[in-house]
Amino acid sequence: MITSLAAEKLACVRGERRVFADLDFHVAAGQALVVEGANGVGKTSLLRLIAGFLPPASGRVTLNTDRGAISDGEERGRLVGWLGHQDGIKPQLSVGEQLEFFAQLYGARDVIGPLLERVGLSRQRDFPCRYLSAGQKKRLGLARLIVSGRGLWLLDEPLAALDTAGRALTAELMSAHCAAGGIVIAATHDALGLEARSLRLEAA
């Protein structure tokens, strides 16, 4: 169980370029944080940093759990549910195969059927992912996020490509996740339709 996430004096350098610096924030379990800011200001970078992909140039991210505080990036990653820009979908696999693989990879015991039902892809279960539309891919990503069963959700523009119903569904899923004691951190340019604190990044 995650109790909170804290960033202290976080700085991010990409290439030779300082993207942001001296970032402090704190998110408690059950809260959502929306990361906003102009294009290229470093939202995606921040999410990758929290997920442990990017090492911070300075400062640190601490994830407090009931088993102690985690500062190591890779260890933190084990608690992260990720919905990135890239869809992470293999065109050759069917929707069902794709989701089953991730369920097994993440050691999840979830049943695939109801989940696909929930994101509106049950008719596409045996459909090769190659033929999915942009929004359908995003919905598959949502299903994968749920199946991961992780406490800390990191979402990069979760609403892009989704239709109105899809956006409502996403908001609902995020609320439910928070209500269950999870944390949501989402980078977006849209209104999330969710009660959330906001973190506005400014160009360094």
Partner 1 sequence: MSGPFASLLSRDLRLAARSGGGAALALAFFALVATLVPLGVGSDLHLLSRIAGGVLWVGAVLAALLSLDRLYQGDFDDGSLDLIALSPLSLEQVALAKLLAHWLSTGLPLTLLSPLLALLFGLSGQGTWALFVSLLIGTPAVSAVGAIGASLTLSLKRGGLILPLIVLPLLAPAVIFGAGAVSGALDHLSNGALGLLSAFSVAAVLLSPFAAAACVRLNLAG
Partner 2 sequence: MFRYANPAMFMRLSGALLPWVCGAAVIALAAGLYLGFQVPPDYQQGMTVTIMFVHVPAAIVAESAYGLIAIASLFSLVWRHPLADTAARAAAPLGAVFTALGLITGSLWGRPMWGAYWVWDARLTSFLLLLFLYLGYIALWNAIEDEARAARAAAILALIGAVNLPIIKFSVDWWNTLHQGESILSGKIAPVFLWPLLIMALAYMLLFAALWMVRIRTEIVNRRARGLMQRTA
Ligand X SMILES: Nc1ncnc2c1ncn2[C@@H]1O[C@H](COP(=O)(O)OP(=O)(O)OP(=O)(O)O)[C@@H](O)[C@H]1O
Which residues contact partner 2 (rule: CB under 8 A)? 15-18, 123-124, 126-128, 130
134 contributes a contact to Mg ion by CB under 5 A: yes
Cβ atoms of residues 32 and 188 within 8 Å: no
42-61 positions binding Mg ion, by CB under 5 A: 44
| 59 versus 135: smaller Cβ distance to ligand X | 135
CA atoms lying within 13 Å on the CB side of residue 188: 25
| 3 versus 122: smaller Cβ distance to partner 2 | 122
Angle, nearest 10°, between helix axes 95-105 and 134-148? 30
Binding-site member from 58, 75, 113, 131 for its own copies (CB under 8 A) = 131
**Encoding tokens for residue 26?**
């704190």
105 contributes a contact to partner 1 by CB under 8 A: yes
193 contributes a contact to its own copies by CB under 8 A: no
| 123 versus 189: smaller Cβ distance to partner 2 | 123
Residues 108, 88: Cα–Cα separation, whole Å: 18
CB of 160 to partner 1, least distance (A): 14
Q: What is the DSSP string of the chain?
A: -EEEEEEEEEEEEETTEEEEEEEEEEEETT-EEEEE-STTSSHHHHHHHHHTSSPPSEEEEEEEETTEEE--HHHHHTTEEEE-SS----TTSBHHHHHHHHHHHTT----HHHHHHHHT-GGGTTSBGGG--HHHHHHHHHHHHHHHT-SEEEEESTTTT--HHHHHHHHHHHHHHHHTT-EEEEE-SS--SS--EEEE----
| 15 versus 68: smaller Cβ distance to ligand X | 15
| 14 versus 78: smaller Cβ distance to partner 2 | 14
Binding-site member from 81, 82, 83, 139 for its own copies (CB under 8 A) = 139
169-198 positions binding partner 1, by CB under 8 A: none
CB of 37 to partner 1, least distance (A): 21
119-138 positions binding ligand X, by CB under 6 A: 131-136
Residues of this chain that bind its own copies (CB under 8 A) = 14-15, 37-40, 43-44, 85, 120, 131-136, 138-139, 157, 160-167, 189-190
Residues of this chain that bind ligand X (CB under 6 A) = 14-15, 17, 19, 37, 39-45, 131-136, 161, 163
